[in-house]
Structure 1
Protein backbone atom coordinates (compact mmCIF):
# COMPACT_ATOMS: atom_id res chain seq x y z
CA UNK A 1 0.00 0.00 0.00
CA UNK A 2 1.32 3.45 -0.91
CA UNK A 3 0.95 6.35 1.50
CA UNK A 4 1.58 10.05 1.00
CA UNK A 5 3.28 12.18 3.61
CA UNK A 6 4.46 15.75 4.16
CA UNK A 7 8.12 16.57 4.87
CA UNK A 8 9.90 19.59 6.28
CA UNK A 9 13.56 20.64 6.33
CA UNK A 10 15.50 21.51 9.48
CA UNK A 11 17.76 24.59 9.72
CA UNK A 12 21.44 24.03 9.01
CA UNK A 13 23.59 22.93 11.92
CA UNK A 14 27.15 21.57 12.39
CA UNK A 15 27.48 18.04 11.03
CA UNK A 16 28.12 15.51 13.81
CA UNK A 17 30.16 13.27 11.48
CA UNK A 18 32.20 15.47 9.15
CA UNK A 19 34.13 18.47 10.45
CA UNK A 20 33.63 21.86 8.82
CA UNK A 21 30.38 20.68 7.23
CA UNK A 22 26.84 21.96 7.72
CA UNK A 23 24.00 19.43 7.86
CA UNK A 24 20.25 19.47 7.34
CA UNK A 25 17.59 16.79 7.68
CA UNK A 26 14.36 16.12 5.83
CA UNK A 27 11.75 15.30 8.48
CA UNK A 28 8.68 13.22 7.61
CA UNK A 29 5.57 14.75 9.15
CA UNK A 30 3.63 11.72 10.33
CA UNK A 31 -0.19 11.66 10.33
CA UNK A 32 -2.15 12.06 13.52
CA UNK A 33 -3.22 8.39 13.48
CA UNK A 34 0.36 7.31 14.26
CA UNK A 35 -0.79 5.50 17.39
CA UNK A 36 -2.74 2.88 15.45
CA UNK A 37 0.33 1.34 13.75
CA UNK A 38 -0.58 2.48 10.24
CA UNK A 39 2.58 4.57 9.73
CA UNK A 40 4.12 3.57 6.37
CA UNK A 41 7.58 3.15 7.88
CA UNK A 42 8.60 0.41 5.44
CA UNK A 43 7.84 2.82 2.60
CA UNK A 44 9.79 5.58 4.32
CA UNK A 45 12.83 3.44 5.09
CA UNK A 46 12.80 2.35 1.45
CA UNK A 47 13.18 6.06 0.63
CA UNK A 48 16.30 6.34 2.77
CA UNK A 49 14.66 7.52 6.00
CA UNK A 50 15.48 6.41 9.56
CA UNK A 51 13.81 6.95 12.87
CA UNK A 52 14.97 8.29 16.22
CA UNK A 53 12.18 7.74 18.69
CA UNK A 54 9.05 8.90 16.88
CA UNK A 55 10.98 11.23 14.56
CA UNK A 56 11.59 10.02 11.00
CA UNK A 57 14.33 11.76 9.02
CA UNK A 58 16.98 11.50 6.34
CA UNK A 59 19.98 13.72 5.48
CA UNK A 60 19.15 16.63 3.17
CA UNK A 61 22.38 18.61 2.90
CA UNK A 62 22.79 21.14 0.10
CA UNK A 63 26.50 20.63 -0.54
CA UNK A 64 27.17 17.09 0.60
CA UNK A 65 25.88 13.63 -0.28
CA UNK A 66 28.21 11.62 1.94
CA UNK A 67 25.47 9.95 4.02
CA UNK A 68 24.13 6.95 2.14
CA UNK A 69 21.52 4.64 3.62
CA UNK A 70 22.81 1.06 3.48
CA UNK A 71 20.96 -2.25 3.60
CA UNK A 72 22.45 -5.74 3.63
CA UNK A 73 20.93 -8.61 1.64
CA UNK A 74 20.20 -10.89 4.59
CA UNK A 75 19.22 -13.89 2.46
CA UNK A 76 22.46 -13.78 0.45
CA UNK A 77 24.82 -12.70 3.22
CA UNK A 78 27.77 -14.93 4.10
CA UNK A 79 30.22 -13.93 6.85
CA UNK A 80 33.82 -13.21 5.95
CA UNK A 81 36.72 -15.02 7.60
CA UNK A 82 37.13 -12.15 10.02
CA UNK A 83 33.43 -12.18 10.88
CA UNK A 84 33.53 -15.93 11.43
CA UNK A 85 36.36 -15.40 13.92
CA UNK A 86 34.20 -12.90 15.79
CA UNK A 87 31.36 -15.43 15.96
CA UNK A 88 33.72 -18.06 17.36
CA UNK A 89 35.24 -15.59 19.85
CA UNK A 90 31.76 -14.91 21.24
CA UNK A 91 30.46 -18.48 21.25
CA UNK A 92 30.35 -18.32 25.06
CA UNK A 93 27.65 -15.62 25.01
CA UNK A 94 24.02 -16.40 25.69
CA UNK A 95 21.55 -14.22 23.82
CA UNK A 96 17.80 -13.66 23.91
CA UNK A 97 15.23 -11.34 22.32
CA UNK A 98 13.05 -9.12 24.51
CA UNK A 99 10.11 -6.88 23.64
CA UNK A 100 10.53 -4.07 26.17
CA UNK A 101 12.93 -1.47 27.51
CA UNK A 102 14.50 -2.40 30.85
CA UNK A 103 16.51 -0.72 33.60
CA UNK A 104 19.26 -3.26 32.92
CA UNK A 105 19.58 -1.92 29.36
CA UNK A 106 19.74 1.65 30.58
CA UNK A 107 22.57 0.92 33.05
CA UNK A 108 24.65 -0.63 30.26
CA UNK A 109 23.71 2.23 27.92
CA UNK A 110 25.05 4.81 30.39
CA UNK A 111 28.24 2.80 30.86
CA UNK A 112 28.72 2.71 27.08
CA UNK A 113 28.08 6.46 26.68
CA UNK A 114 30.53 7.31 29.45
CA UNK A 115 33.23 5.44 27.54
CA UNK A 116 32.35 6.22 23.91
CA UNK A 117 30.36 9.49 23.87
CA UNK A 118 31.36 11.40 26.97
CA UNK A 119 31.77 14.65 25.04
CA UNK A 120 28.49 14.63 23.09
CA UNK A 121 24.87 15.55 23.68
CA UNK A 122 23.96 11.98 24.65
CA UNK A 123 26.28 11.81 27.66
CA UNK A 124 23.65 13.39 29.94
CA UNK A 125 20.79 11.11 28.88
CA UNK A 126 18.57 10.00 31.75
CA UNK A 127 16.18 7.05 31.62
CA UNK A 128 13.40 9.10 29.99
CA UNK A 129 15.83 10.37 27.34
CA UNK A 130 16.88 6.78 26.62
CA UNK A 131 13.26 5.67 26.30
CA UNK A 132 12.39 8.59 24.02
CA UNK A 133 15.43 7.85 21.84
CA UNK A 134 14.63 4.14 21.46
CA UNK A 135 10.85 3.79 21.79
CA UNK A 136 8.33 4.40 19.04
CA UNK A 137 4.55 4.63 19.50
CA UNK A 138 3.91 3.00 16.12
CA UNK A 139 6.84 0.71 15.31
CA UNK A 140 7.27 -2.85 16.70
CA UNK A 141 10.75 -3.05 18.21
CA UNK A 142 12.74 -5.89 19.78
CA UNK A 143 15.84 -5.90 21.99
CA UNK A 144 18.61 -8.44 21.52
CA UNK A 145 20.37 -9.03 24.86
CA UNK A 146 23.72 -10.79 25.07
CA UNK A 147 24.94 -12.18 28.40
CA UNK A 148 28.32 -13.33 29.63
CA UNK A 149 28.01 -15.37 32.83
CA UNK A 150 24.54 -13.86 33.44
CA UNK A 151 25.89 -10.32 33.03
CA UNK A 152 24.39 -8.17 30.26
CA UNK A 153 27.24 -7.13 27.94
CA UNK A 154 25.55 -6.03 24.70
CA UNK A 155 22.19 -4.83 23.38
CA UNK A 156 20.87 -4.31 19.85
CA UNK A 157 17.63 -2.39 19.33
CA UNK A 158 15.91 -3.70 16.20
CA UNK A 159 12.76 -2.62 14.37
CA UNK A 160 10.57 -5.32 12.80
CA UNK A 161 9.49 -4.34 9.25
CA UNK A 162 7.52 -6.18 6.60
CA UNK A 163 10.55 -6.53 4.28
CA UNK A 164 13.37 -6.70 6.80
CA UNK A 165 14.85 -5.66 10.11
CA UNK A 166 16.26 -2.24 10.90
CA UNK A 167 19.21 -1.87 13.28
CA UNK A 168 18.19 1.20 15.31
CA UNK A 169 21.09 1.36 17.78
CA UNK A 170 23.46 -0.92 19.66
CA UNK A 171 25.74 -0.62 22.66
CA UNK A 172 27.97 -2.88 24.70
CA UNK A 173 30.17 -3.16 27.77
CA UNK A 174 33.31 -1.14 26.93
CA UNK A 175 35.43 -3.51 29.05
CA UNK A 176 34.61 -6.21 26.46
CA UNK A 177 35.84 -4.18 23.49
CA UNK A 178 38.19 -6.91 22.23
CA UNK A 179 35.19 -9.10 21.47
CA UNK A 180 34.05 -6.79 18.60
CA UNK A 181 30.54 -6.89 19.99
CA UNK A 182 29.23 -4.23 17.61
CA UNK A 183 30.02 -6.47 14.65
CA UNK A 184 28.73 -9.54 16.50
CA UNK A 185 25.37 -7.85 17.12
CA UNK A 186 24.99 -7.09 13.41
CA UNK A 187 25.85 -10.69 12.53
CA UNK A 188 23.18 -11.93 14.93
CA UNK A 189 20.59 -9.55 13.48
CA UNK A 190 21.46 -10.76 9.97
CA UNK A 191 21.12 -14.36 11.10
CA UNK A 192 17.71 -13.66 12.58
CA UNK A 193 16.52 -11.77 9.50
CA UNK A 194 17.51 -14.78 7.41
CA UNK A 195 15.71 -17.10 9.81
CA UNK A 196 12.56 -14.97 9.44
CA UNK A 197 12.99 -15.00 5.63
CA UNK A 198 13.20 -11.21 5.55
CA UNK A 199 15.16 -9.71 2.68
CA UNK A 200 17.07 -6.89 4.33
CA UNK A 201 18.89 -5.63 7.38
CA UNK A 202 18.88 -1.82 7.25
CA UNK A 203 22.02 -0.45 8.91
CA UNK A 204 21.43 3.28 8.68
CA UNK A 205 23.88 5.69 7.08
CA UNK A 206 27.24 4.71 5.66
CA UNK A 207 29.69 7.65 5.55
CA UNK A 208 32.89 6.71 3.73
CA UNK A 209 34.76 9.79 4.96
CA UNK A 210 33.94 9.16 8.63
CA UNK A 211 36.09 6.46 10.21
CA UNK A 212 33.62 5.48 12.92
CA UNK A 213 30.81 5.03 10.35
CA UNK A 214 32.70 2.94 7.76
CA UNK A 215 32.15 -0.47 9.38
CA UNK A 216 28.80 -1.07 7.66
CA UNK A 217 30.39 -1.54 4.24
CA UNK A 218 32.00 -4.81 5.39
CA UNK A 219 28.64 -6.63 5.42
CA UNK A 220 28.02 -7.88 1.90
CA UNK A 221 26.23 -8.03 -0.45
CA UNK A 222 24.67 -4.68 0.27
CA UNK A 223 22.92 -1.80 -1.46
CA UNK A 224 23.13 1.96 -0.94
CA UNK A 225 20.39 4.52 -1.47
CA UNK A 226 21.84 6.92 -4.06
CA UNK A 227 20.00 9.38 -6.31
CA UNK A 228 16.63 8.26 -4.95
CA UNK A 229 17.13 4.56 -5.64
CA UNK A 230 18.80 1.53 -4.11
CA UNK A 231 21.96 0.60 -5.98
CA UNK A 232 24.03 -2.52 -5.56
CA UNK A 233 27.61 -1.86 -4.55
CA UNK A 234 30.59 -3.62 -6.10
CA UNK A 235 30.63 -6.35 -3.47
CA UNK A 236 33.67 -8.17 -4.70
Structure 2
Protein backbone atom coordinates (compact mmCIF):
# COMPACT_ATOMS: atom_id res chain seq x y z
CA UNK A 1 0.00 0.00 0.00
CA UNK A 2 1.13 3.52 -0.72
CA UNK A 3 2.66 5.34 2.26
CA UNK A 4 2.65 9.08 2.82
CA UNK A 5 4.46 10.90 5.60
CA UNK A 6 2.17 13.88 6.06
CA UNK A 7 -1.15 13.66 7.90
CA UNK A 8 -2.13 17.15 6.73
CA UNK A 9 -3.87 16.96 3.32
CA UNK A 10 -2.23 18.91 0.54
CA UNK A 11 -4.22 19.65 -2.60
CA UNK A 12 -2.92 19.69 -6.16
CA UNK A 13 -4.34 20.75 -9.53
CA UNK A 14 -3.94 18.68 -12.69
CA UNK A 15 -3.08 20.09 -16.08
CA UNK A 16 -5.95 20.43 -18.60
CA UNK A 17 -6.87 17.25 -20.52
CA UNK A 18 -9.73 16.23 -22.85
CA UNK A 19 -13.03 15.78 -21.02
CA UNK A 20 -14.24 12.14 -21.13
CA UNK A 21 -17.90 13.18 -20.97
CA UNK A 22 -18.39 16.29 -23.10
CA UNK A 23 -16.74 16.41 -26.52
CA UNK A 24 -14.54 19.39 -27.24
CA UNK A 25 -14.10 20.44 -23.62
CA UNK A 26 -11.10 20.33 -21.31
CA UNK A 27 -11.13 19.10 -17.72
CA UNK A 28 -8.99 19.78 -14.68
CA UNK A 29 -9.13 18.10 -11.30
CA UNK A 30 -8.10 19.05 -7.80
CA UNK A 31 -6.86 16.09 -5.78
CA UNK A 32 -5.27 14.98 -2.53
CA UNK A 33 -3.96 11.76 -1.00
CA UNK A 34 -6.05 9.65 1.37
CA UNK A 35 -3.40 8.15 3.64
CA UNK A 36 -2.66 7.59 7.29
CA UNK A 37 -4.93 7.02 10.29
CA UNK A 38 -7.24 9.93 9.38
CA UNK A 39 -7.90 8.72 5.84
CA UNK A 40 -11.42 7.43 6.48
CA UNK A 41 -12.48 10.61 8.26
CA UNK A 42 -11.01 12.71 5.46
CA UNK A 43 -12.73 10.54 2.85
CA UNK A 44 -16.03 11.18 4.65
CA UNK A 45 -15.55 14.95 4.62
CA UNK A 46 -14.36 15.10 1.03
CA UNK A 47 -17.07 12.80 -0.35
CA UNK A 48 -19.69 14.94 1.38
CA UNK A 49 -17.98 17.89 -0.31
CA UNK A 50 -18.23 16.43 -3.81
CA UNK A 51 -14.98 14.46 -4.11
CA UNK A 52 -14.64 10.94 -5.49
CA UNK A 53 -12.08 8.29 -4.55
CA UNK A 54 -9.73 6.36 -6.82
CA UNK A 55 -7.26 4.14 -4.91
CA UNK A 56 -5.67 6.46 -2.34
CA UNK A 57 -6.59 9.64 -4.24
CA UNK A 58 -9.62 11.87 -3.64
CA UNK A 59 -10.45 14.19 -6.54
CA UNK A 60 -13.13 16.49 -7.89
CA UNK A 61 -13.54 18.54 -11.09
CA UNK A 62 -12.00 22.00 -11.09
CA UNK A 63 -12.73 23.11 -14.65
CA UNK A 64 -12.35 26.81 -15.35
CA UNK A 65 -15.42 27.41 -17.53
CA UNK A 66 -17.66 24.43 -16.89
CA UNK A 67 -19.82 23.24 -13.99
CA UNK A 68 -21.53 20.35 -15.75
CA UNK A 69 -20.34 17.71 -13.26
CA UNK A 70 -22.70 17.62 -10.28
CA UNK A 71 -22.29 15.34 -7.26
CA UNK A 72 -25.36 13.15 -6.71
CA UNK A 73 -26.56 11.09 -3.77
CA UNK A 74 -29.76 9.07 -3.37
CA UNK A 75 -31.91 9.77 -0.32
CA UNK A 76 -32.55 6.28 1.06
CA UNK A 77 -35.46 7.20 3.31
CA UNK A 78 -38.52 7.42 1.08
CA UNK A 79 -36.78 5.96 -1.98
CA UNK A 80 -39.31 5.64 -4.81
CA UNK A 81 -39.65 2.05 -5.90
CA UNK A 82 -41.08 2.51 -9.38
CA UNK A 83 -42.71 -0.33 -11.27
CA UNK A 84 -39.61 -0.74 -13.43
CA UNK A 85 -37.35 -0.91 -10.36
CA UNK A 86 -39.54 -3.60 -8.82
CA UNK A 87 -39.44 -5.55 -12.08
CA UNK A 88 -35.65 -5.40 -12.11
CA UNK A 89 -35.49 -6.69 -8.54
CA UNK A 90 -37.82 -9.58 -9.37
CA UNK A 91 -35.61 -10.47 -12.33
CA UNK A 92 -32.60 -10.40 -9.99
CA UNK A 93 -34.14 -12.69 -7.38
CA UNK A 94 -31.66 -15.42 -8.40
CA UNK A 95 -28.71 -13.22 -7.34
CA UNK A 96 -27.23 -12.46 -3.95
CA UNK A 97 -24.42 -10.08 -3.00
CA UNK A 98 -21.79 -10.89 -0.39
CA UNK A 99 -19.52 -8.21 1.08
CA UNK A 100 -15.86 -9.12 1.50
CA UNK A 101 -12.68 -7.22 2.50
CA UNK A 102 -11.01 -5.30 -0.37
CA UNK A 103 -8.94 -8.16 -1.80
CA UNK A 104 -8.58 -8.67 -5.58
CA UNK A 105 -8.85 -12.08 -7.25
CA UNK A 106 -8.12 -13.50 -10.68
CA UNK A 107 -11.84 -14.22 -11.08
CA UNK A 108 -12.66 -10.57 -10.46
CA UNK A 109 -10.05 -9.42 -12.94
CA UNK A 110 -11.27 -11.84 -15.64
CA UNK A 111 -14.79 -10.41 -15.28
CA UNK A 112 -13.40 -6.86 -15.17
CA UNK A 113 -11.56 -7.43 -18.46
CA UNK A 114 -14.61 -8.93 -20.18
CA UNK A 115 -16.70 -5.99 -19.01
CA UNK A 116 -14.20 -3.40 -20.26
CA UNK A 117 -13.58 -5.14 -23.57
CA UNK A 118 -17.32 -5.36 -24.25
CA UNK A 119 -18.66 -2.09 -22.83
CA UNK A 120 -15.72 0.34 -22.62
CA UNK A 121 -13.10 -0.84 -25.10
CA UNK A 122 -12.00 2.73 -25.84
CA UNK A 123 -12.33 4.06 -22.28
CA UNK A 124 -9.62 5.38 -20.02
CA UNK A 125 -9.40 2.09 -18.08
CA UNK A 126 -9.18 -0.20 -21.12
CA UNK A 127 -5.44 -0.85 -20.76
CA UNK A 128 -5.49 -1.72 -17.05
CA UNK A 129 -3.37 -4.75 -16.20
CA UNK A 130 -4.00 -7.27 -13.45
CA UNK A 131 -1.60 -5.27 -11.26
CA UNK A 132 -3.51 -2.06 -11.98
CA UNK A 133 -6.72 -3.78 -10.99
CA UNK A 134 -5.20 -5.12 -7.79
CA UNK A 135 -4.05 -1.60 -6.87
CA UNK A 136 -7.53 -0.20 -7.59
CA UNK A 137 -9.05 -2.61 -5.08
CA UNK A 138 -6.49 -2.94 -2.30
CA UNK A 139 -4.52 0.33 -2.36
CA UNK A 140 -6.71 2.05 0.20
CA UNK A 141 -6.53 3.47 3.71
CA UNK A 142 -10.30 3.95 4.04
CA UNK A 143 -13.15 1.67 5.11
CA UNK A 144 -14.14 -0.09 1.93
CA UNK A 145 -15.41 -3.46 0.72
CA UNK A 146 -15.90 -5.59 -2.36
CA UNK A 147 -19.42 -6.89 -2.93
CA UNK A 148 -19.48 -10.03 -5.08
CA UNK A 149 -22.76 -11.02 -6.73
CA UNK A 150 -23.42 -14.67 -7.58
CA UNK A 151 -26.36 -17.01 -8.09
CA UNK A 152 -28.26 -18.08 -5.00
CA UNK A 153 -27.61 -21.62 -3.84
CA UNK A 154 -29.49 -23.99 -1.52
CA UNK A 155 -27.14 -22.85 1.29
CA UNK A 156 -27.60 -19.11 0.72
CA UNK A 157 -30.13 -18.82 3.55
CA UNK A 158 -27.40 -19.99 5.94
CA UNK A 159 -24.20 -18.64 4.37
CA UNK A 160 -25.66 -15.35 3.03
CA UNK A 161 -23.59 -15.81 -0.13
CA UNK A 162 -24.13 -17.26 -3.59
CA UNK A 163 -22.43 -19.91 -5.64
CA UNK A 164 -21.03 -20.31 -9.13
CA UNK A 165 -19.30 -17.74 -11.37
CA UNK A 166 -19.23 -14.05 -10.56
CA UNK A 167 -22.11 -12.09 -12.06
CA UNK A 168 -21.02 -8.65 -10.85
CA UNK A 169 -18.68 -6.80 -8.48
CA UNK A 170 -19.00 -3.48 -6.67
CA UNK A 171 -16.16 -1.65 -4.91
CA UNK A 172 -17.92 0.37 -2.22
CA UNK A 173 -16.80 2.72 0.57
CA UNK A 174 -18.65 2.89 3.85
CA UNK A 175 -19.01 6.48 5.06
CA UNK A 176 -20.49 7.84 8.26
CA UNK A 177 -23.63 8.87 6.38
CA UNK A 178 -23.86 6.44 3.49
CA UNK A 179 -22.40 4.07 0.95
CA UNK A 180 -20.27 5.44 -1.88
CA UNK A 181 -20.17 3.34 -5.06
CA UNK A 182 -16.56 3.73 -6.18
CA UNK A 183 -16.66 1.39 -9.18
CA UNK A 184 -18.77 -1.53 -10.39
CA UNK A 185 -18.72 -3.98 -13.28
CA UNK A 186 -20.66 -7.04 -14.36
CA UNK A 187 -21.00 -9.93 -16.79
CA UNK A 188 -21.85 -8.24 -20.12
CA UNK A 189 -23.72 -11.36 -21.29
CA UNK A 190 -26.40 -11.07 -18.60
CA UNK A 191 -29.56 -9.74 -20.24
CA UNK A 192 -31.80 -9.56 -17.16
CA UNK A 193 -31.80 -7.86 -14.83
CA UNK A 194 -30.16 -4.60 -15.88
CA UNK A 195 -27.08 -5.16 -13.72
CA UNK A 196 -26.12 -1.52 -13.34
CA UNK A 197 -29.60 -0.64 -12.11
CA UNK A 198 -29.77 -3.73 -9.90
CA UNK A 199 -26.51 -2.94 -8.10
CA UNK A 200 -27.66 0.59 -7.30
CA UNK A 201 -30.98 -0.73 -5.98
CA UNK A 202 -29.11 -3.33 -3.93
CA UNK A 203 -26.99 -0.55 -2.41
CA UNK A 204 -30.15 1.37 -1.50
CA UNK A 205 -31.38 -1.70 0.37
CA UNK A 206 -27.98 -2.22 2.01
CA UNK A 207 -27.77 1.40 3.16
CA UNK A 208 -31.28 1.18 4.62
CA UNK A 209 -30.43 -2.03 6.50
CA UNK A 210 -27.27 -0.36 7.87
CA UNK A 211 -29.17 2.76 8.98
CA UNK A 212 -27.31 4.98 6.50
CA UNK A 213 -29.24 7.84 4.85
CA UNK A 214 -27.47 8.14 1.48
CA UNK A 215 -26.02 6.26 -1.47
CA UNK A 216 -23.41 8.35 -3.30
CA UNK A 217 -23.39 7.85 -7.09
CA UNK A 218 -20.55 10.15 -8.08
CA UNK A 219 -21.20 12.72 -10.79
CA UNK A 220 -24.19 13.41 -12.96
CA UNK A 221 -23.00 15.30 -16.03
CA UNK A 222 -25.47 17.64 -17.69
CA UNK A 223 -25.40 16.87 -21.41
CA UNK A 224 -23.78 13.43 -21.11
CA UNK A 225 -26.06 10.60 -22.27
CA UNK A 226 -24.08 7.93 -20.43
CA UNK A 227 -24.69 9.72 -17.11
CA UNK A 228 -28.41 10.38 -17.68
CA UNK A 229 -29.48 7.15 -15.95
CA UNK A 230 -28.60 8.56 -12.53
CA UNK A 231 -31.62 10.89 -12.64
CA UNK A 232 -33.93 7.87 -12.35
CA UNK A 233 -33.12 7.23 -8.70
CA UNK A 234 -35.38 9.48 -6.64
CA UNK A 235 -35.43 11.28 -4.33
CA UNK A 236 -31.89 12.49 -4.78
CA UNK A 237 -29.79 15.45 -3.77
CA UNK A 238 -27.35 17.48 -5.86
CA UNK A 239 -24.42 19.41 -4.43
CA UNK A 240 -24.36 23.08 -5.36
CA UNK A 241 -23.10 26.39 -4.09
CA UNK A 242 -25.67 26.31 -1.27
CA UNK A 243 -24.86 22.74 -0.23
CA UNK A 244 -26.88 19.58 -0.82
CA UNK A 245 -30.36 20.27 -2.19
CA UNK A 246 -33.07 17.81 -3.15
CA UNK A 247 -33.73 17.79 -6.88
CA UNK A 248 -36.74 16.03 -8.37
CA UNK A 249 -37.18 14.69 -11.88
CA UNK A 250 -40.17 13.46 -13.81
CA UNK A 251 -39.40 9.84 -14.63
CA UNK A 252 -42.72 9.32 -16.35
CA UNK A 253 -43.54 6.41 -14.04
Common topology (TM > 0.5): yes
Does 1:20 pair with 2:46? no
User: In the alignment, what sits opposite 1:143?
Assistant: 146
Pairwise CA distance, 1:38: 4.1
The 3-state SS of whatever aligns with 1:43 is helix
The 3-state SS of whatever aligns with 2:189 is helix
Does 1:196 pair with 2:200? no
User: In the alignment, what sits opposite 1:54?
Assistant: 56
- Structure 1, 215-224 or 137-146: larger mean CA deviation: 137-146
Does 1:105 pair with 2:108? yes
Q: Deviations over 1:177-225 (max 9, x none)?
A: 4420000001001100000001111000001311111111111111011
Task: Spell out the pairing of 1:139-178 with structure 2 (5 A cutoff).
Answer: 139-148=142-151, 150-178=164-192
TM-score, with structure 2 as normaliser = 0.86
Pairwise CA distance, 1:93: 1.4
Pairwise CA distance, 1:27: 1.0
Does 1:130 pair with 2:144? no
- Aligned counterparts of 1:44 and 1:194: Cα–Cα separation in 2: 22
Q: Deviations over 1:134-158 (max 9, x none)?
A: 3343111111111136121111111
| Residue pair 1:134, 1:157 contacting (<8 A) in 2 also | yes
- Aligned counterparts of 2:85 and 2:92: Cα–Cα separation in 1: 11
Pairwise CA distance, 1:29: 4.7
The 3-state SS of whatever aligns with 2:11 is strand
- Aligned counterparts of 1:137 and 1:178: Cα–Cα separation in 2: 33
- Structure 1, 20-29 or 143-152: larger mean CA deviation: 143-152
User: In the alignment, what sits opposite 1:216?
Assistant: 230
- Aligned counterparts of 2:174 and 2:38: Cα–Cα separation in 1: 12
- Aligned counterparts of 1:223 and 1:42: Cα–Cα separation in 2: 17
How many residue pairs get matched? 231
User: In the alignment, what sits opposite 2:155?
Assistant: none
- Aligned counterparts of 2:184 and 2:124: Cα–Cα separation in 1: 17
Pairwise CA distance, 1:67: 0.4
| Residue pair 1:75, 1:197 contacting (<8 A) in 2 also | no
- Aligned counterparts of 2:235 and 2:139: Cα–Cα separation in 1: 29
Return 5+ residue gaps in structure 2 as ranges: 1-6, 152-162
Pairwise CA distance, 1:124: 1.8
Q: 1:216 to 1:93 in 2, by over 3 A?
A: same
User: In the alignment, what sits opposite 1:44?
Assistant: 46
Task: Spell out the pairing of 1:173-184 with structure 2 (5 A cutoff).
Answer: 173-184=187-198
Return 5+ residue gaps in structure 1 as ranges: none
Q: Deviations over 1:82-128 (max 9, x none)?
A: 11110001111132111132221111101101101112332221111
Does 1:69 pair with 2:83? no
Q: In angstroms, what is the RMSD of aligned CA positions?
A: 1.8
